[in-house]
Structure formats: structure tokens, C-alpha cells
Amino acid sequence: MSLSLLLPENGVIDLLTTWPDEPRIYERGTTELDDTVTTDFLNEYVRTGCVPANEIAVVKAPNPSLNRDAFTSNGRTDAEKLWGFHQKGFTLRLGNLQRVIPFFAQVSRRVQEETGGYSNYVHAFLTPPGNQGLRHHWDQQMAVIVQVSGIKRWQLWRPPVEAPMREFNESFRVWKDHYIPTWEASGPDREVDLKAGQSLLLPRGWVHNPHVLDSDEPSVHLTFAIRERTQLWLSEKLLASAISDEEFRRIILPGQMHGMALMQQLAYAREALVRHLAGLDLSEVASDVVQAALTELEYAS
């Protein structure tokens, strides 16, 4: 079971049976993941220049990520430049490892199977001693944070928005200037010093401000982001077969795209949609939904 590489038995049970809505810390111990994905393994990945340039973010708080041109040459990752920024205190985020490293591809596929069809991805974060990459933000899905080496402090605040999903309620889209001053004035709701061998379950929407306090030891952690399936996702699957009905393929004329004519078209479409949904054989749809859940890899939660 791949989830058991990320969490101990009680953590796997918690995830699969209750899907916690508050952060939890687990003693992971040492698993095959720790034996395979070491700090040296990831450093070599960086220093060989094998990381795809479009999957790299180089950031040092409080500034935004560097332009890709800063660490590429002729459009490709320049390992010397990239490692040079890391030596200057920049965090390296190595994205979507499940697309480029076979071990992670296998783990990701098995996690999807074990969760009944939750697609997922994995990023690695390499942060130098005493530094910080990303600042306060929240994410759109459950994350399992696996500390590989070093210690990273996670300051956590309760979600300021409800159930962020896809582009809805993303941090940068609904950000307010008073957020950080307010959070810093009140202090975090939780504060965790995550150590190697531990994992943090971080539900979607929770604000996090991670940084490395230790001035001697770097931090390396993996973020496994698990995209929950939702009622909207199911609704989209219910609608998927509508294209086979000629009624839904009928053209709307330019003159019907405004005023009362548009209102009439909307009412017509709604009525047609209700008829379509009422006529579906849910047992047939269920089979298609299971197949889609287990095979969709991109952002479709």
C-alpha cells in the first residue's frame, strides 16, 4: 500500500475513513520512501540538470518566484545556475515528480487506487538552513507533508475561506492585504516543528507559513497533494453523456445571446437538462465514473 509509505497505519485509517478537516501529526518512521528518496537523491536530481525547467520554482521569502530565465540556458535547466541560487538561500520546488521519476509515478498511481480514485501529485521542497521559500498561503486539496530531512516549522491558521477548489477561492485570487498582519498579530492556531520521520496531514484551506529556523541544517520535504473528488465532479460526469443528445448540440443563434431571447434559451436548456438527468441509468453512469476516477491524472477534482 503506497499510503503506508507516507503515513503509519493509524494515519492511513484516519485518511481513508474520516478525511480529517484539521491538521494531524504522525510518526511515520522509516519506510521504503525514506530509503529511496533521500536528500542526496534529490540534490543529485538538481545538480545533474535533469529537472524539467517548467517544473521548477526558485523562491526566497518575501519575494516572488524568480523568472525561469534566471536558472535556464537555451530554454533548458542550467544545473550550475540552479544550484547557485540554492546556495544563496533560495528554496527549490521541484514539481510533479510523478511525471518524471518512475518511483513516484508508481506511488502516485497506487495512492489513486487506494483512495478509490483521488488523483494526486508530488512536489519536493529543498530549503537551505535558516531560510524560507513560500510565505502564507493555502492550497486547494488535502496534502500529506513528508519530512525527509531537517526540521521545518509550520505555522498554521484555520481556513479563511470555505472549501477552496480548482480556481475557486485560490489564495492569490481572493487575497486581502490585511491577512498577513492579522495572522501575525494573533499568532498561529497551530505551530508544528516537523522532523524527519514525521508526516503532517494538512487539509485544504488551512493557511500555512513554513520556514526553516535551524541555521545549520537544510530541510527537505515532499508534499503529496491528494485531490478530493467532489459533488461538482460527479455532476460533471452526469452531464458528460448529454452531448449524445441532439437537443444539446442545437445551435443558439447570435440574436438569442442577449435579452429575453437569452432568458428563454437558458430556461429551455435547464428543462432539457432536468429531463436528461432524470432519464439516466445511474448504474451505467457509476461504471463510467469508477473508470474515470481511476484513470484521470490531471486537475479534475
pLDDT one-digit tens code per residue, 219-243? 999 999 999 999 999 999 999 999 9
How far apart CA 208 and CA 154 sit, in angstroms, is 6
d(CA 129, CA 291): 45
- Residue 189 DSSP code: S
pTM: 0.93
| CATH numbers and ranges of domains, the chain | 3-228 (2.60.120.650), 232-295 (no CATH)
| Distances in whole angstroms, Cα of residue 104 to Cα of each of 56, 93, 100, 124, 179 | 17, 16, 8, 11, 35
- What's the pLDDT score for residue 257? 97
Confidence (pLDDT) at 176: 94
**301 touches 166 (CB < 8 A):** yes
What secondary structure, in 3-state letters, does 251-263 show? CCCHHHCCHHHHH
pLDDT score of 246 more than 90: yes
The whole-number pLDDT of residue 299 equals 58
Residues 253-256: contacts with CB within 8 Å, 24+ apart?
A: none
- Distance in angstroms (rounded) separating the CA atoms of residues 200 and 147: 8
Model confidence pLDDT, tens digit, residues 50-79: 999 999 999 999 999 999 999 999 999 999
Would you say residue 301 has pLDDT above 80?
no
**Cα angle at 117 between 114 and 120, to 5 degrees?**
85
* Per-residue pLDDT at 174 exceeds 90: yes
- In the chain, alpha helices (H): 3-6, 9-17, 32-36, 39-47, 79-87, 102-114, 171-174, 179-186, 231-239, 246-249, 259-278, 282-295
Note the Cα 220 to chain centre separation in Å: 17
